[in-house]
Structure 1
Amino acid sequence: MDEEQDKAYTWEGDYERTWEAIKEDEQGSLQSTVDDIIHRAKRRRFLDRPVNVRLGMMRHLFIILDMSKSMEEKDLKPTRLHSTIKLIESFIEEYYDQNPISQLGIITTSNMRAEKLTDLGGNPRRHINTLKKCKDKVCLKEPSLQNSLELALTSLRHMPGHASREVLIIMGSLTTCDPDNIHQTIDTMKSNNIRCSVIGLAAEVRICKKLCNVTNGTYGVILDETHYKELLMEHTLPPPATVNSESSLIKMGFPKHQIHTDKPAICVCHLDSKTSEGFGLGGYFCPQCHSKYCELPIECKCCGLTLVSAPHLARSFHHLFPLDEFTEISTTSLDESYSSYCEACQGKLSGQVVYLCPRCDKVFCLECEMFIQEALHSCPGCASTRPKQVRTS
Structure 2
Amino acid sequence: MADSDGEFHADDASDDLEDHRVTTSSKHDTRSRSRPEKAKKGTRKSGKAAWEDIQRSWDAVVEDADGSLTAAIEGRAEAEKRARLLRDTTPLQRGIIRHLVLVVDMSFAMLEKDMLPSRYELTIAYASQFVREYFEQNPISQLAVVGMRDGVAIRISDMSGNPAEHLEKLQGWVKQEPQGNPSLQNALEMCRGALFHTPSHGTREVVIIYGALMSSDPGDIHETITSLVHDRIRVSIVGLAAQVAICDELCTKTNGGDTSSYTIAIDEDHFRSLLLEVTTPPVTRTQEQSNASLLMMGFPSRTLAAGDSIHYCSCHNRPTKEGYKCTRCKSRVCRLPAECPGCGLTLILSTHLARSYHHLFPLRNWVDVPWAEAKRSKACYSCLTAFPEVPRTESGKGKTPEKGKGKNNSGSVPTPLKGLSESGRYACEVCRNHFCIDCDLFAHEVLHNCPGCQSDTRGAQRQNGKATSNGDANGAMEIDS
Q: TM-score range by the shorter chain?
A: 0.7 to 0.9
Q: Structure 1 321/17 Cα, relative in aligned 2: closer, same or farther at 3 Å? A: farther
Map 1:33-48 to 2 at 5 A: 39=78, 41-48=80-87
Matched-pair contact (CA < 8 Å) for 1:143–1:175: yes
Name the Cα RMSD after superposition.
Answer: 3.2
> How far apart are 1:284 and its partner, in Å?
2.8
CA distance in 2, matches of 1:339, 1:250: 47
Which of 114, 117, 134 does residue 173 from structure 2 map onto?
134
Matched-pair contact (CA < 8 Å) for 2:147–2:154: yes
Map 1:214-229 to 2 at 5 A: 214-216=253-255, 218-229=261-272
> Which residue of structure 2 lines up, in the alignment, with residue 85 of structure 1?
124
Q: Structure 1 33/78 Cα, relative in aligned 2: closer, same or farther at 3 Å? A: closer
Which of 107, 118, 127 does residue 68 from structure 1 map onto?
107
Matched-pair contact (CA < 8 Å) for 1:23–1:33: no
1:213 and 2:252 correspond: yes
- State the one-letter code of the partner of 1:377: H
- State the one-letter code of the partner of 2:431: C
> Which residue of structure 2 lines up, in the alignment, with residue 299 of structure 1?
339
CA distance in 1, matches of 2:304, 2:100: 31
- State the one-letter code of the partner of 1:345: C
Which of 366, 375, 385 does residue 456 from structure 2 map onto?
385
Q: Structure 1 222/267 Cα, relative in aligned 2: closer, same or farther at 3 Å? A: same
Which of 187, 193, 196 does residue 235 from structure 2 map onto?
196
> Which residue of structure 2 lines up, in the alignment, with residue 342 of structure 1?
380
CA distance in 2, matches of 1:266, 1:195: 38
CA distance in 2, matches of 1:34, 1:282: 49
Which of 354, 357, 364 does residue 428 from structure 2 map onto?
357
> How far apart are 1:42 and its partner, in Å?
3.1
Return 218-227 or 353-362, whichever deviates more: 353-362
CA distance in 2, matches of 1:192, 1:88: 26
Q: Structure 1 40/347 Cα, relative in aligned 2: closer, same or farther at 3 Å? A: same
> Which residue of structure 1 lines up, in the alignment, with residue 468 of structure 2?
none
Q: Structure 1 17/199 Cα, relative in aligned 2: closer, same or farther at 3 Å? A: farther
> How far apart are 1:33 and its partner, in Å?
8.8
TM-score, structure 1 normalization: 0.85
CA distance in 2, matches of 1:55, 1:265: 39
1:288 and 2:328 correspond: yes
Larger radius of gyration: 2
Q: Structure 1 231/305 Cα, relative in aligned 2: closer, same or farther at 3 Å? A: same
Matched-pair contact (CA < 8 Å) for 1:285–1:291: yes
1:249 and 2:321 correspond: no
CA distance in 2, matches of 1:354, 1:335: 7
Secondary structure, aligned partner of 1:134: coil
Q: Structure 1 184/32 Cα, relative in aligned 2: closer, same or farther at 3 Å? A: farther
1:105 and 2:176 correspond: no
> How far apart are 1:268 and its partner, in Å?
4.0
Mind listing any 5+ residue stretches in structure 2 that lack a counterpart? 1-41, 44-49, 389-420, 466-481
Q: Structure 1 386/222 Cα, relative in aligned 2: closer, same or farther at 3 Å? A: same
1:172 and 2:211 correspond: yes
Secondary structure, aligned partner of 2:315: helix
- State the one-letter code of the partner of 1:296: L
Matched length: 375
Mind listing any 5+ residue stretches in structure 1 that lack a counterpart? 7-12, 271-276
